[in-house]
Amino acid sequence: MKLGTKEKNITLQKKSYTEYAKTKNAAKFIDVDPSYLTKRQGTSFKLGVHFFKPIGESIVRWRLSALTEWLTKDQNSSETIDQKLENLLKRR
């Protein structure tokens, strides 16, 4: 089945909006309340990595791939443990 111009435009529009989402949609994406994201802006979630806010604008957009990476990051990786050990050794 061949897509017409209208269908192609709709398909392109859907694809172009899948990487960034409003706070409420990003919260749904990781199944949390929107306040979970907003309360952690600047701490758990970094500006320019997890979320973006154009200068002088009130809109916030979340990068869904960064949220996925944050959610699935292995907290017990050997790299994390090695960093903790290095920090402890520096204290001596």
| 28 CB neighbour count, 10 Å cutoff | 13
The per-residue pLDDT for 4 is 62
Q: What is the pLDDT of residues 51-73, one digit of tens each?
A: 999 999 999 999 999 999 999 88
Per-residue burial over 12-22, b if 16 or more Cβ lie within 10 Å, else e, is eeeeeeeebbe
Under CATH, which architecture does the 18-91 domain have? Orthogonal Bundle (1.10)
| 60 CB neighbour count, 10 Å cutoff | 18
pLDDT level of residue 75 (50, 70, 90 thresholds): low
